Amino acid sequence: MPRPPIATRLRPLHRPLATFLLFLVGGVILLRMDPFGFTRLTKIYSQDLLAVSMAGCYPGAKDGKCVKDGRAEVSVVLLRDGDLDAFDEPWPPHYGFHARVLRAIRANKPKAVMMDIVFEDVRDDPSIEALAAELDRYREAGIPVYAATFGPDRPLRPEVASRVIPVLVPKKTDPLDRVTRFYDLDSGGPQSRLTAAPEVYRDMCGGCPEGCGAETVRIYWSNLPDDSWNDRWLNCRRRPPFPWWIVQDRGGDFRENCPSTPAVPVKVLLDPQESDDVAIEKLLQDDIVLYGAFYRGAADVMNTPLHNDLPAVFLHSTTLDNLITLGPHSLRHHEPQVPVLGVSLADFILLVLIGAFFTARRASARVDTAWVGVMRRVRSRVGRIVLVALGSQVGMLVLLAAFASALACWLGAADWVYGINFLFAFTWTELLDVTGKLFEAADEFEPR
C-alpha cells in the first residue's frame, strides 16, 4: 500500500503548529510592549522570589586571604539611636564619641576599617582632635581606614581626609519599587574609579588586580545563620521559614530586618557583658570591619528583596562578602537578548517550552492517551486531584517557581537564572487559550 503524500501526513500538524507560532508571536509582542508595565513588574518580583529561595543556599567561602572558618572576614559595627541614648550622646554624636568607638574596634585588631559615615560637615566640635588622633593610631598600627565620600565635589573634613582612604559609596535603587538589587563597581564617567566594596576587596583581599571592570553586579543576600549573635544583639525579626513565607504580606512580614553579616551594636562593643566579650573579639579580629549608623528618620536605609529598613552599611558589607565568596565574575549583571526579537533569552526559552508543552498536551492524541493512562493508574482520588491541579495554569506556575528555585540553588550565583520570569509565564498560558479561541472563531465561519 503506497504511503500517503507528505502533505497529507503533515496536515494534522497544521493547526498545532499554527497555534504554537501564533502563541510565540503574541508572547514576544507582550514582552516587547510591556503592557501597563506588567512584564517588568512580574520580572522583578520573580527575581525577588528567586533571591529569597537562593538565600537559603548561599555557599560558604573558599579558603583565601579574606576567609575565616568558611565565611568572608566581614563584619559590621552599628551605631543606632539606642546606643546614643545609652551614652547620652546627641545627634549627630560628638567626634570624640566616634573616636571612642574606633578605639574599641582597634583593640580587637581588625584587618581594616571602613567608615560608612560621611565626615564632610564642618561643625564647631573641638573633639575632632580626638578623632584625628585615633586615626593616627590606626596608621601607626598599620590598619588601613577607608571613609565614605559622595565624590570629589564634596570633600571630607581636612582633619579626616588626610588620614583615611576616601571611597565612593553607591546606592542604586529601582525607581519602580525603591528596592536595592544592584551595586555599581565603579563611578562611571571619564574619571571613573572603583567604589567602596571593590576597592577594599582589591586592597585587602588581592582581588581584581587589573580592576573589577566597569560593571554593575547583582547582590546576593543570604539568610541569617541559625547560630548568629545578631538575633540577640540586634533584636531583629526573621522571615518565617519555607513554605510559610509564601503567604506572608510581601510589604511586611515577608521581609525581615535581620542582616546576615555579623553585626555588633556600639553599646555592646563599648559596654560588653562577659559572655559578649569573647564573641566580639572572635568576630572583629582580623576582619574587615564596616562602621555604620542607623538613625530613625535618616535616609541611609534601604529595602532589599529580603529586608525592610536595612541600614545601608549592609549594602557594602554584603557586596564585599559576595566578592570574596563568589567572585566578581559570578555577580556581573548581564541579560542575553534574542537577536532581532529584542527579548530576554531566558524569557524566550521559557516561552518556547511552555508553548510546546501545552500545545502538545492539547493537540496530541498520544499525549492525551498517556495522560489518561496515568490518571487511571492512580488509585487515590486525592492523588488524581493533585495531578489535575499541577497540570493546570496555576499548577504550572508553582512547578515553574519550584524548578527555577532548585535550578538557581544548584547552579549557584548565576545572574542569567534571574531572567526567568515565571510569574509572567502564567499569563502566557492564558494567551494560549486565547489563541485556541481565535482558531475556533475562524472555523465557525469556514465555508462548508
Helix (H, G, I), strand (E, B) or coil at 377: helix
Q: What is the largest CA-CA distance in the chain?
A: 106
Write out the DSSP string of 55-74: HTTPPPPPSSTTEETTEESE
How far apart, in whole angstroms, are the C-alpha atoms of residue 144 and residue 135? Answer: 9
Q: What is the pLDDT along the chain (448 residues), one digit of tens a residue?
A: 555 555 455 455 666 777 778 778 877 887 888 777 777 778 888 778 778 777 777 888 887 889 988 889 999 999 998 999 999 998 889 999 999 999 999 999 999 999 999 998 888 899 999 999 999 999 999 999 999 998 888 889 999 999 999 999 987 788 777 888 889 888 777 777 889 999 999 999 988 777 666 578 888 888 777 667 777 788 776 766 665 555 555 555 556 667 889 999 999 999 988 888 888 999 899 999 999 998 765 667 888 888 878 889 999 999 999 999 888 877 777 777 888 888 888 888 888 887 787 777 766 677 777 777 877 888 888 877 777 777 666 676 667 667 767 776 776 656 666 667 767 766 666 666 666 666 566 666 666 5
Q: Counting Cβ atoms within 10 Å, is residue 146 exposed (0-12), middle (13-18) or buried (19+)?
A: buried
The predicted pLDDT at position 10 comes to 47
Q: Where are the beta strands (DSSP E) in 90-151?
A: 112-115, 145-149
Helix (H, G, I), strand (E, B) or coil at 387: helix
Smallest CA-to-CA distance from 356 within 21, 12, 15, 11 is with: 21
| Annotated domain spans of the chain | 6-55+336-444, 67-325
Give the containing element (helix H, strand E) for 393.
helix 393-411
pTM (two decimals): 0.82
The predicted pLDDT at position 244 comes to 58
Give the containing element (helix H, strand E) for 412.
none
The predicted pLDDT at position 437 comes to 64
DSSP annotation of 37 = G
Smallest CA-to-CA distance from 250 within 76, 69, 17, 52 is with: 52
Take residue 394 and report the three cell numbers written for it.
496555576
Take residue 188 and report the three cell numbers written for it.
562611571
Residue position matching grid coordinates 506572608: 248
How far apart, in whole angstroms, are the C-alpha atoms of residue 159 and residue 119? Answer: 10
First vs last C-alpha separation in the chain: 31
Helix (H, G, I), strand (E, B) or coil at 362: helix
How far apart, in whole angstroms, are the C-alpha atoms of residue 353 and residue 53? Answer: 23
The alpha carbon of 264 is separated from its chain's Cα centroid by a whole number of angstroms, namely 23
Give the list of residues 6+ apart from residue 367 with CB closer than 8 angstroms, or none.
Answer: 360, 361
Smallest CA-to-CA distance from 302 within 171, 118, 187 is with: 171
CB of 344 closer than 8 Å to CB of 335: yes
Q: Counting Cβ atoms within 10 Å, is residue 37 exposed (0-12), middle (13-18) or buried (19+)?
A: exposed
The predicted pLDDT at position 305 comes to 83
